Amino acid sequence: MLIELEGVTKIYNQGQINEVVALRDIDLRIKEHTLNCLRGASGCGKSTLLSIIGCVIQPTSGRTAIAGLQPARMPDRFLTVHRRRCIGFIFQNYNILPALTVRENITLPLVPLGLSRRAMAERVERLLQQFSIGHRGNFPAGRISGGELQRVAIARALVNDPPPSSWQTNPRPISTAV
């Protein structure tokens, strides 16, 4: 099982006047190599659930196992390392840095991985071609169209995909749309 959630509850601002129960007692199982879609009314907690799966926030209670790791027991530092190895993010508002070029934006998740410059460039180039944005590579991300921006966000979410040779040992990255 790639993702397992058991009795996950998330309460924002617990104990305060503005307390929000965003998730209550969620069970969820997702297998490797599947494509899943989460639907629901606005404000029902989709983003919250994906943030928990993406190890960005911790559930208030319940048990989670994400790609073999149990985030509840992990310090923030480990989650960061886990995130950059196994998880790709596409945000609702993309969260692309407008001052950086398209190429630099896609490279960002690779910087702390310690890959060589060549290896980074190869991966980024492959994705630029795959998403037909090669001709925008050196444009500042703030100056491309909305559709292109979306493709940049997807490319960035996939860039930390481990190379085919190590697929057997590494779990395939999870891409979440938050």
Partner 1 sequence: MNGGLTKHLNIIDYTLSSLWRRRARNASVLIVFAGVIFLVASFQFVTEALTETALDSLRTAPEITIQRLSAGRQTEVPLDYGEQVASIHGVREVVPRIWGYYFDEVTGANLTVIGVDLERMPLGEKLNLTLAEGEVPEPGASGWVLVGRSIKRIVESKGTAYLSLFRPDLSQASYAITGVFDAVTDVLTNDLIVMDIGDARDLFHISPAAATDLCVYVANLEEVPNIARKIAAALPDARVLTRSQISQTYQVVFGWRSGFASVCLLTALAAFVIFAWDKASGLSPEERREITILKILGWETSDILAVRFWEGALVAGGAFIAGCTGAYIHVAYFDASLFRSVMVGWSVIHPSLRLVPSLQVSTLLLIFCFTVLPYMAATVIPAWRSAIVPTDSALSGM
Distances, alpha carbon 138 to alpha carbons 83, 143, 147, in Å? 27, 11, 17
For the bound state, the minimum distance from the C-beta of residue 4 to partner 1, rounded and expressed in Å, comes to 21
Q: What share of the chain is helix, strand, coil (3-state, %, to 5)?
A: 40, 20, 40
Q: Which C-beta is closer to ligand ADP: that of 40 or that of 114?
A: 40
Residue 39 binds partner 1 (CB under 8 A): no
Sign of CA dihedral 70, 72, 78, 83: positive
Taking CB under 8 A as the criterion, which residues in 105-144 touch partner 1?
108-117, 120
Residue 2 in 3-state DSSP?
A: coil
- What SS3 class is residue 56? coil
Q: Which residues bind ligand ADP (CB under 6 A)?
A: 12-13, 20, 22, 40, 42-48
Contacting residue, 56, 66, 67, 127, with partner 1 by CB under 8 A:
56
Q: Which residues bind partner 1 (CB under 8 A)?
A: 12, 51, 54, 56-58, 76-77, 80-81, 83-85, 89, 91, 93, 95, 97, 99-100, 104, 108-117, 120, 156, 160
